[in-house]
Chains A and B, each alone.
Chain A
């Protein structure tokens, strides 16, 4: 008979024994050592029936098959492109997955994607050695046009998107910006100057306050307030939009 050694939703540290016995099954961030389950990261423990999962508090993006992410082309190779994906690993987009067009032997690959291009792309495979394969074939996968790129904490991405995309749609509707959120924490935005700044500030607000309840209502109030300020001509949230989270002083 197994038992939990720590409470559900408590914070655990790497190496901490979280459950004993064979009844519990380790999933993300948890591994089995003998008949015990041990945490491998710092985070919140989430128990779902027999499954024990660990929601990390922070960390780099871990590539997962099927994720739609935003990546930056950092190299053009002989038969594909190397893409930076805000992770510890870089990904490879091979020629055959890049386009449905026929690419002749020896063609100049920079005609399709070149250094510094940002792509919306999906992960088709992650090997045990963490080699990541990308594909551009699928709905909405494309090279991104002009816009702003910001990086948010990857573990906050689900909160930014919201249930069935409710949170990000709310920001889109309120600001009229185009927003694409990659699972790896890279976000692309395009909009009118004042509106885009509000969208960026809203994203930062979600990132820093996602653990406090009533997030949706607060973000809604924030968007309304900023829209009102913009209408009466006050400069909205200047200075705080660039870079990471601005420390409170």
Chain B
């Protein structure tokens, strides 16, 4: 990205304004819709401004991993569809889509959002596997936060299909929901120069020096962090970034259904 566009953005920051008129710590309008797809056991669509992400949850009965015979499995995949941005290509996952999937996965896993012990059917033999798939519909910045929010909402929305011990009947969903222990949210705090801000637009995302994604549980507990961007971040800045993320996470949490 061009240096002179960055200069322009930074000059605006000095006046406390963003490229699209927001203040530095302001999110674009956030919309969460539940149950948007027919075939998934749970799904959600999240819109942050013009950014749009759909997440779906599929449940299946699988063999547990040998090291966790009593726990259900969790898997997160993300696909950056070519229709969502001219920068995305079809084909094998690239660095960015792997990062989205891993950050969402780690947020859910390390916060112990889902009580995986309750997903066990027969110890060492059969457990439920939760597969979360994330698709981008439109990419206008801040995919990480949108994807994390969509994944959590889809998990909230999911219901178990009927299972008779042999086959899963996906045509019929029971009323049983996933065993959710707590809801984690990811907030990505961006940094250009000395300025911290959240919810970048696509232009801002291209010129950030560094970013920190903080996954927080409902109670404000930090569950996971991911740092990105080329520039290093001082320890004081990390403190400020976490502070900002905590405030914003509480704001986003209000968008989720209880």
Contacts and interface: CB of A to CB of B under 8 A. Distances in A.
Interface of A: 116-118, 144-149, 190, 192-194, 197, 235-243, 246
A242 B4 contact: no
B22 interface: yes
Nearest to A144: B4
Nearest to A116: B2
Contacts of A246: 50
Contact of B7 (A146, A239, A242): A146
Q: Which 9 pairs across A and B sit closest by C-beta, in order of nearness?
A: A238-B21, A193-B17, A116-B2, A146-B4, A242-B20, A146-B7, A146-B8, A241-B20, A197-B21
**Of B2, B4, B21, B22, which is in contact with the most chain A CB atoms at under 10 Å from its CB?**
B21
B211 to A, nearest CB: 18
Size bracket, chain B contacts? 20 to 34
A149 B22 contact: no
Contacts of A117: 2, 4
Contact of B49 (A193, A197, A242): A242
A146 B10 CA distance: 10
B12 interface: yes
Contacts of B5: 146-149
**Of B8, B28, B140, B202, which is in contact with the most chain A CB atoms at under 10 Å from its CB?**
B8
B8 A147 contact: yes
Interface in B16-52: 17, 19-22, 28-29, 49-50
A75 to B, nearest CB: 15
Contacts of B4: 117-118, 144-147
Nearest to A118: B2
B52 to A, nearest CB: 12
Contacts of A236: 21
Contacts of B8: 146-148, 190
The prevalent SS among residues of A at the interface is loop
Contacts of B50: 242-243, 246
Nearest to A193: B17
B203 interface: yes
A238 to B, nearest CB: 4
A145 B12 CA distance: 15
Nearest to B7: A146
Interface in B169-192: none
Given A146-B5, A146-B7, A146-B8, A238 B15 contact: no
B11 interface: yes
A241 B202 CA distance: 12
Given A116-B1, A242-B201, A246-B50, A146 B11 contact: yes
Contacts of A197: 20-21
B2 A193 contact: no
B19 A241 contact: yes
Contact of A239 (B2, B28, B202): B28
B17 A194 contact: yes
Contacts of A239: 20-22, 28-29, 49
Given A242-B50, A243-B140, A235 B21 contact: yes
Contacts of B29: 239
25 contacts: A116-B2, A117-B4, A146-B11, A147-B5, A147-B8, A148-B5, A149-B5, A190-B8, A193-B17, A197-B20, A197-B21, A238-B21, A239-B20, A239-B21, A241-B19, A241-B20, A241-B21, A242-B20, A242-B49, A242-B140, A242-B202, A243-B50, A243-B201, A243-B202, A246-B50
